[in-house]
A and B are shown apart, each in its own frame.
Chain A
Amino acid sequence: MPAKLRYATLLGLLLVGITGLSLGLYELLRDSHFDLPSTFVTVSMWMLFIFLVLLILRYIGLLWFSYLNHLERDDAEPTSLPPITILVPAYNEGAVIQGSIRSLLALDYPRYEILVIDDGSKDDTTMKASAYAGDHGRATVRVITKPNGGKARALNTGIAQATSEFILCMDGDSALHPQTLRRAIRHFQEPAIGAVAGSVKVVNRTNLLSSLQALEYIEGLNMVRAAQGFFRLVNIIPGPIGIFRKSALDKVGGYDHDTFAEDCDLTLKLLLEGWQIQYEPGSIAYTEAPEKMLDLLKQRYRWTRGILQAISKHKRRLIDPRGGIGVTLTLWYMIFEGIMWPVMNVFGNVLFVFVAARYGTALPLVLWWAQLTVLDLAAALYCVVVEEESLLLVPYAIFYRAFFALTIDVAKLFATFEELFKLRMDWGKLERIGRI
């Protein structure tokens, strides 16, 4: 059976499954003759029910549009392979920088340049990177050192120094799949495409926490990008892998350093400037995910506040669709994902725990969890098959909702309050494990 037909069959079964199980859960709630005990609980339950319907539509929509985007994929070789400059900003990446460069030297592409920008590291990053400086046949490695000024400034330095019209920005702790450049460059045959977001995958699946993140990257991040890619409206080009047209970067002034999510901010600037952004699942960056809870919270804290800062920076576009209705809708979608979802999830869980304690039934909590887990399982199964990932990741979807997502949403909620009250924050560099 051809792959596209196989995926269509799988998608059809999953959509029927989601609908059937959702209706089944709703019937279970009706049959339980659960009496809504107070006005507050009644209103809250209805609010959560409406939110749940929105979530079901979100999952079905994402599955459907990511499938349509997959159908549009053209696996033919690009007609030309122009030179590409790869920017590797590095700050105290001594543990992983050589692994990153080695993976870059193994890329399957005829002509490219690797530009390591050492952002004033205090460890041996420069020394380790410089060991690879020079010509390597198809690739040239250059190392630049600059005073510490943050990732955005480091990338801007690299963009200014890049000799190619196409630039790949990555993290110093990431490694790339050999086909990354070939897969990404073909999208630029369309002149309207200003950037291509790659797929990020977790390389260190060593414990429950990092395995859950491996699933989250595929189901929660890549599936969304694949669906957004159908509309050429990807809203966050991930830091570990984004490929840009240099003229597009020049036009929007490169990276700004007034937010803690410079990748999200740059993506929004490109969209507002009228550039289209596509997703390429074959351009893969392997990255280290935090293996400890506190490190994970540190990362998500920065992501949450950074994304909120980026939305706030472009908030005028929420009510002014002149930059394109697609961008306005994208911003509203980001508010839904970044604020509304965590708030409703935490609120829902706390309310249902209260209902269980006060009225002696945990059925609403079980149905809430079951509905979300059905959606996660369906999305996980689809994404794992389409991205040719390990099927062993799918069962993690059961723990994902009950433990992982709630913990992250609590942290997001606190981070949102801190951002609202403009509490001070800094970058919070993560410790690298060095598995790449």
Chain B
Amino acid sequence: MDVVPYLSAVILISTIATIFLAVLSYAAFKLRDRRRPKAKKGSAEPVYFHRYRKRSESEGDNAEGDPEAPA
């Protein structure tokens, strides 16, 4: 039995479907991304919830401070 015609049909259909779905998925991804609420400027306040320090470290040691945090 010659399987090439059947294989051809399967591959052709799956390729067309994949290209179609890939373009559709990308459009859906962009649409969803656009509709996602954007963060308001200034809303991301720093949360210094807890900063762990080794017991052996002196109180005045600021070695764990964030070098990029605003003064």
Contact = CB atoms under 8 A, between A and B. Distances in A.
Interface in A364-399: 365-366, 369
B51 to A, nearest CB: 7
A403 interface: yes
A388 to B, nearest CB: 32
Interface in B1-31: 4, 7-9, 11-12, 14-16, 18-19, 21-23, 25-26, 28-29
B46 A410 contact: no
B33 to A, nearest CB: 7
A298 B29 contact: yes
B12 A294 contact: no
Given A161-B63, A294-B25, A403-B18, A365 B50 contact: no
Contact of B33 (A145, A363, A428): A428
Interface in B28-48: 28-29, 32-33, 44-48
Contact of B32 (A140, A294, A353, A361): A294
Contacts of B68: 146, 149, 153, 156-157
A297 B51 contact: no
A160 B68 CA distance: 10
B25 A293 contact: yes
Tell me the dominant secondary structure on chain B's binding face.
Answer: helix
B66 A353 contact: no
Contact of B46 (A145, A157, A161, A301): A145
A160 B67 contact: yes
A414 B12 contact: no
Contact of A133 (B7, B12, B52): B52
Nearest to B12: A362
A143 B51 contact: yes
Contacts of A403: 14, 18
Category for how many chain A residues contact B: 35 or more
A294 B29 contact: yes
Contact of A410 (B12, B26, B50): B26
Contacts of B22: 406-407, 410-411
Contacts of A135: 54
A122 B52 CA distance: 19
A432 interface: no
A403 B11 CA distance: 10
B66 A144 contact: yes
B69 interface: yes
A157 B51 CA distance: 14
Given A142-B64, A144-B64, A406-B19, A133 B47 contact: no
Contacts of B50: 126-127, 130, 133, 143, 145
Contact of B19 (A140, A157, A293, A410): A410
Contact of B54 (A140, A298, A350): A140
A196 to B, nearest CB: 26
A352 interface: yes
Contacts of B12: 353, 356, 362, 365
A189 B30 CA distance: 47
Nearest to B49: A126
A83 interface: no
Q: Which 7 A-B pairs have the closest CB atoms?
A: A410-B22, A362-B8, A147-B46, A133-B52, A407-B22, A148-B44, A126-B49
Given A157-B66, A297-B26, A410-B19, 17 more contacts: A120-B46, A127-B49, A143-B50, A144-B66, A145-B48, A145-B49, A294-B32, A297-B25, A346-B19, A353-B12, A365-B11, A366-B7, A366-B8, A366-B11, A402-B15, A406-B19, A410-B26
